[in-house]
C-alpha cells in the first residue's frame, strides 16, 4: 500500500534558524497537503500542492512538490516561537489519503 | 459557524465496553472522515463518507463502525473496546472528496482522547 515517510521525526532549533521537513512517498501522488498541529491541538490545513515541481510560499514558509510527485518539503525561514508544533504531510492518491508521522518542531527563544 | 464539533473530549472505557464518538459539522460538507492519532504514527484513516448514506473503510477500520444518516453527523462506534484502541480520535470534513485533481481544505474537530483500560 501507499506509504508516506516524513523526516526528521524531531527538530529542535534556536529562534531565527531555518527548519525543513521532508516527505517521501513510495508511489506517485495526485497531490499533497500540509498541516500544522500545535501541542494539544488539532491539525490545521496549511496548503495543497497539485502540480509537478510546484512551489508555493506563505510568508516565511516555502512548500515544494517534487518533479516526480513523490516527494515534498516544507521550509521555514528564520523560525519564531510561534512556529512550534508538529508538521504533517498528507499524500493523496485516488481516494486514499495517507499522513506522514510528522515532524515535531521545538524552538528555543 | 461552529465548524467541526466532537463529543466527548475525554472518555475512559473498560475493555469490552461499547460507545459512540459523536461528530457534527455545520458547513454542509459532503466529505467526512475519522482518524486516529497515535504517538509517532501520524494520523490514520479509519472510515470516511462521501455523503449521506455512503461510507467506506479507510486504512484501519477493524473494530469500528460508522453511519451517515445526515449530511451533518458522522458518529464513530466502537463495538467492543480494546486497549489497542486507546488513542486520540479526530473527525474531519471537507467540501468534497480528495481526488486526482486535488482536494479541499480539511477541517478537523478538537479531538476525543480515549483510554481503554
Q: Do A50 and B102 touch (CB under 8 A)?
A: yes
Phi, psi values for residue A11, rounded to 5°: -150, 125
Give, for all 117 residues of chain B, the pLDDT tens digit: 779 999 999 999 999 999 999 999 999 999 999 999 998 778 999 999 999 999 999 989 999 999 999 999 999 999 999 999 999 999 999 987 766 566 678 899 999 999 999
Helix (H, G, I), strand (E, B) or coil at A7: strand
| Chain B residues with beta carbon closer than 8 angstroms to that of A31 | 98, 102-103
**Residue B69, pLDDT score:** 96
Please compute the mean of the pLDDT values over residues A24-44 and round it to a whole number. Answer: 93
Residues of B in contact with A23 (CB under 8 A): none
- Of B35, B100, B112, B113, which to mutate for an interface test with A (greatest number of A Cβ within 10 Å)? B100
- Residue in the structure block whose three cell numbers are 459523536: B22
Q: Can you tell me the distance from the alpha carbon of B1 to that of B9, in angstroms, rounded to the nearest whole number?
A: 19
Cβ <8 Å between A30 and B109: no
Q: Is B107 an interface residue toward A (CB < 8 Å)?
A: yes
Query: A57-73 pLDDT, tens per residue?
Result: 999 999 999 999 999 99
Across the interface, do A6 and B42 touch by the CB < 8 Å criterion? yes
The CA distance from A7 to the nearest CA of chain B, in Å, is 11
Cβ within 8 Å, pair A99-B109: no
Whether A100 and chain B come into contact, CB under 8 Å, resolves to yes
A27 interface with B at CB cutoff 8 Å: no
Q: What is the pLDDT of residues A81-105, one digit of tens each?
A: 999 999 999 998 766 788 999 999 9
User: Closest by alpha carbon to A60, among A93, A15, A18, A14?
Assistant: A18
- From chain A, pick out residues whose CB is under 8 angstroms from the CB of B106: 33, 43, 45
Check residue B102 and give its pLDDT. 62
Amino acid at each position: 500500500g501507499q506509504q508516506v515517510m516524513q523526516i526528521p521525526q524531531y527538530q529542535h532549533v534556536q529562534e531565527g534558524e531555518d527548519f525543513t521537513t521532508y516527505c517521501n512517498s513510495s508511489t506517485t501522488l495526485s497531490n499533497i497537503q500540509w498541516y500544522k498541529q500545535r501541542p494539544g491541538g488539532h491539525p490545521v490545513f496549511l496548503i495543497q500542492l497539485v502540480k509537478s515541481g510546484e512551489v508555493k510560499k506563505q510568508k516565511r514558509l516555502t512548500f515544494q512538490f517534487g518533479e516526480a510527485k513523490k516527494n515534498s518539503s516544507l521550509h521555514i525561514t528564520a523560525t519564531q516561537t510561534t512556529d512550534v508544533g508538529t508538521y504533517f504531510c498528507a499524500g493523496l492518491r485516488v481516494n486514499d489519503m495517507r499522513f506522514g508521522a510528522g515532524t515535531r518542531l521545538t524552538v528555543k527563544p | 459557524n461552529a465548524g467541526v464539533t466532537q463529543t466527548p473530549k475525554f472518555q475512559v472505557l473498560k475493555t469490552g465496553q461499547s460507545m459512540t464518538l459523536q461528530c457534527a459539522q455545520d458547513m454542509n460538507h459532503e466529505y467526512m472522515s475519522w482518524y486516529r492519532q497515535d504517538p509517532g504514527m501520524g494520523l490514520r484513516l479509519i472510515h470516511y463518507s462521501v455523503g449521506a448514506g455512503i461510507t467506506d473503510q479507510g486504512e484501519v477500520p477493524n473494530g469500528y463502525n460508522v453511519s451517515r444518516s445526515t449530511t451533518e453527523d458522522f458518529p464513530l462506534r466502537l463495538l467492543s473496546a480494546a486497549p489497542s484502541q486507546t488513542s486520540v480520535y479526530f473527525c474531519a470534513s471537507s467540501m468534497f472528496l480528495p481526488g486526482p485533481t486535488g482536494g479541499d481544505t480539511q477541517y478537523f474537530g478538537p479531538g476525543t482522547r480515549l483510554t481503554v483500560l
